[in-house]
Structure 1
Amino acid sequence: MVRLTRVQQQKRTRRSVLAAAREEFTEHGYALAKVDRIAERAELTRGAVYSNFPSKRALYLAVLIDMVENATAGEPPMTSPMTPAEALGVFARTWLERLPLVGDTASGGRLHLRSLVGVLDDEHGRTVLAQVVRLEALLLAIALESCEPAHAMPVRRVRLAELVLTLLDGSGHLAESAPGFGDPFDLARACEHLAGIDLTDTWTPSYLPYVAPAQPCGDTWDPPTGLADQISGDRVDFGADGLIAVLGAGRLAAAEEAVRSARPGEQVTVAIVTDDSAETGRLVRLRITDLIGCLRHVFAPEVWQRVRLVLDDEALTASAIGLTDLDDETEAAVHVQGGAIVARAHGRGAAYAASTADASNGPQPRSAQT
């Protein structure tokens, strides 16, 4: 009973800090916000704030995550539009709702925009953000690819997704410095028209022929429990046959490799790990949660039924498959069949190696085109 009371108190303290921090960031912006003033607003000590959030950046990211989660809670899934152009129009209009209004204060507008300008002021933060955007483009692309007619040849839509995100993020940066400039309806129509551009998009990584073979094995394992899929919100069943890729925050672009090289009909689980959950982990969570919130306005959850995305802050997945010494450059994968791990791979190309491995004859060549 004492433990439950302590947990409840910790939750109340956290809520008070987040509410006070949101007021501080809205009033003063990120750069001029002070942790001492946040503590005063929450009627707590400076130490109490830092015991929950180790830095101002971690607190700012937590405030944004709280805003995004509250904004997307309880949204009903929608039926996927018929064409990629229609889908991009709805997606763009949803995304553009975050743009600051002319009457917003500068600081309040930046917070509503989920602005990271001046927040990621180091090389590591920018590198991770670049990798997260690559993952965002993949998730949007998978949804757009589902809009193609069932009888049509498979089409990769990652370059289209990257172009759309570039346009939308660019409009956000411009709106931050010049609120009210640009018509959101024009931007949405522009995104629709981008679907008609022939980008000659294929997935043919040049390094695949040189990927080291996976190690065949027959290891029993104890799958982790209680982890949720960030896309559907459902609990992940790690016991199902399929590919499990464990990626550090600096290797998120390899998620496409896992998706494209997985065997037909098998599940693909991407577990993201980091050695800095307070800042790097929160940055990944913020961006992915925000994007998925927009995607749920447009696409039904079944679009990503073969792909599961786990934000594994405690590295439970990595531990279950025997990984240690994790960092943002981690890249490893295992292939699970019949409740056992039948192949293991590490390093660049790990997902491809594990998925294409043959337990008796080693890796088999597979088409890279999807």
Structure 2
Amino acid sequence: MVRLTRAQQQARTRAAVLASAREEFIEYGYGAAKVDRIAERAELTRGAVYSNFPGKRALYLAVLVDMVEQANIPLAVEEPGSVGEALSAFARVWLDRLPLVGDAAAGGRLQLRSLAGVIDDDAGRAVLAQTARLEALLLALTLESCASEVTPPRRVRLAELALTILSGSSLVAELAPGFGDPFDRARACGHLASLDLADAWAPPYLPYIAPAAQVQEKWTPPADADDLLSADVVDLASDGVVVVLGGGRLGAAEEAVRTARPGEQVTIVVVTEDPANTGPLIRLRVSDLVACLRQVSPSPLPGHLRFVLDDDARVAAALGLADVGDHTEAAVRVNGGAVVARAERRGAAYAVAATTTARSEGAAT
């Protein structure tokens, strides 16, 4: 008889719980699903379920994350020819998840990655709103990479508009399946690219942000941080900007992305005070969006952009951030294996990204 290690047994138990939970949510939906029935399906105790997931919401989000990460998706083999083509292709991929008229309502909601009735508290909605801003930024960067201009204009407002239409399509499909033609919506999204939205990035508060502090600090980051955008391990010790954001401050990621020098590595590290619920929520939304983008373009996002979920706050701890939560915002510039500039609180991402390496090197000497 082969004796399993504790880690192997925990992994087996978690897999059994996820499989049973998926069956439960498909049959009953989120609202009517019961943890007791999930435990019975998995032939486990209720305590065994709760030892892996603190509640039904965490379990539901984990099921959705597992669905996205285990999906066998076809990847794009060539770049779209224009912003409109990219947006239309993205919409088609997104709308492909809409349930058919004859599909069961509960299973259709799971297929839609529906969060209706799941995120029902003010803190969760605030994080979801910030995550939506991050999704718009990632989609916008993909669209900007398809533009013909040498310096393409910002496309965040365009991305927000397209995501609003697609999210509305998902809600309609959940409440009234079969209404409307998804191909019409995909074409409509493609035509949005012709709109002049006067989308300039010039936040009025930037001139009032204090400069980053010039420092010279040892930097020993974790060596096994995973990039959610590429599934590769991130080298946090390499030169660039590292921004630590709470789940309620994800919109500040654009400040680092837009301010950093072209091609400079920018790593967004996300921390949260509720890693069992907020962490999976952010992982779900970002992983799902990136999976869609990879079906539109073989290289949809800038290679120098990294996104790390710091669920155990090890990266934050390495930066000396002991008390982190959903409103955390801190940033450092790494140069030559050391931290040479840092800032905290609102505007930290901009302050550090705007600090040049030359100034930092001068301060270090």
- The TM-score, its normalising length taken from structure 2, stands at 0.95
- The within-5 A match list for 1:309-320 is 309-320=307-318
How far residue 254 of structure 1 moved from its aligned partner, in angstroms, is: 0.2
Alignment equivalent of 2:249, drawn from 243, 248, 251: 251
Per the alignment, residue 94 of structure 1 pairs with 93
How far residue 290 of structure 1 moved from its aligned partner, in angstroms, is: 0.6
Q: Distance in 1 between matches of 2:3 and 2:198?
A: 59
Per the alignment, residue 366 of structure 1 pairs with none
Q: Deviations over 1:335-370 (max 9, x none)?
A: 1111111100001110111122358979xxxxxxxx
Per the alignment, residue 141 of structure 2 pairs with 142
Letter in 1 for 2:314: L
How far residue 154 of structure 1 moved from its aligned partner, in angstroms, is: 2.7
1:67 paired to 2:63:
no
- The within-5 A match list for 1:23-42 is 23-42=23-42
Q: Is the 8 A contact 1:24 1:38 kept in 2?
A: yes
Per the alignment, residue 351 of structure 2 pairs with 353
SS at match of 1:238: coil
Per the alignment, residue 275 of structure 1 pairs with 273
Q: Distance in 2 between matches of 1:224 and 1:47?
A: 32
How far residue 220 of structure 1 moved from its aligned partner, in angstroms, is: 1.8
Letter in 1 for 2:247: A
How far residue 247 of structure 1 moved from its aligned partner, in angstroms, is: 0.3
Q: Compared with structure 1, are the counterparts of its residues 6 and 192 closer, same or farther at alpha carbon in structure 2 (3 Å cutoff)?
A: same
1:109 paired to 2:108:
yes
Q: Deviations over 1:91-133 (max 9, x none)?
A: 1111111111101111111111110000011111111100000
- Using the aligned pairs only, state the percent identity: 63
User: Where does structure 1 differ by over 4 angstroms across 4 or more consecutive aligned residues?
Assistant: 358-362
Q: Compared with structure 1, are the counterparts of its residues 342 and 72 closer, same or farther at alpha carbon in structure 2 (3 Å cutoff)?
A: farther
Q: Distance in 2 between matches of 1:17 and 1:342?
A: 46
Letter in 1 for 2:28: H
Number of equivalences: 359
SS at match of 1:25: helix
Q: Is the 8 A contact 1:248 1:274 kept in 2?
A: yes
Q: Distance in 1 between matches of 2:319 and 2:299?
A: 28
Q: Compared with structure 1, are the counterparts of its residues 273 and 77 closer, same or farther at alpha carbon in structure 2 (3 Å cutoff)?
A: farther
How far residue 72 of structure 1 moved from its aligned partner, in angstroms, is: 4.6
Q: Is the 8 A contact 1:231 1:304 kept in 2?
A: no
| Stretch of structure 1 that moved more, 8-17 or 190-199 | 8-17
How far residue 297 of structure 1 moved from its aligned partner, in angstroms, is: 0.4
Q: Which runs of 5 or more structure 2 residues have no equivalent in the other structure?
A: 361-365
Per the alignment, residue 9 of structure 2 pairs with 9
SS at match of 2:23: helix
- The within-5 A match list for 1:1-370 is 5-72=5-72, 75-151=74-150, 153-301=151-299, 303-357=301-355
Q: Compared with structure 1, are the counterparts of its residues 320 and 56 closer, same or farther at alpha carbon in structure 2 (3 Å cutoff)?
A: same
SS at match of 1:132: helix
Q: Is the 8 A contact 1:79 1:299 kept in 2?
A: yes
Q: Compared with structure 1, are the counterparts of its residues 12 and 84 closer, same or farther at alpha carbon in structure 2 (3 Å cutoff)?
A: same
Q: Distance in 2 between matches of 1:277 and 1:131?
A: 16
Letter in 1 for 2:38: I
SS at match of 1:31: helix
How far residue 237 of structure 1 moved from its aligned partner, in angstroms, is: 1.1
Supply the RMSD in Å over aligned alpha carbons.
1.7
Q: Is the 8 A contact 1:72 1:293 kept in 2?
A: no
Q: Is the 8 A contact 2:145 2:300 kept in 1?
A: no
Q: Is the 8 A contact 2:242 2:331 kept in 1?
A: yes
Q: Is the 8 A contact 1:89 1:192 kept in 2?
A: yes
SS at match of 2:133: helix
How far residue 266 of structure 1 moved from its aligned partner, in angstroms, is: 1.1
Q: Distance in 2 between matches of 1:342 and 1:184?
A: 51
How far residue 241 of structure 1 moved from its aligned partner, in angstroms, is: 1.2
Q: Distance in 2 between matches of 1:18 and 1:360?
A: 51
Q: Distance in 2 between matches of 1:19 and 1:359?
A: 50
Q: Deviations over 1:292-317 (max 9, x none)?
A: 11011012236321211111111122
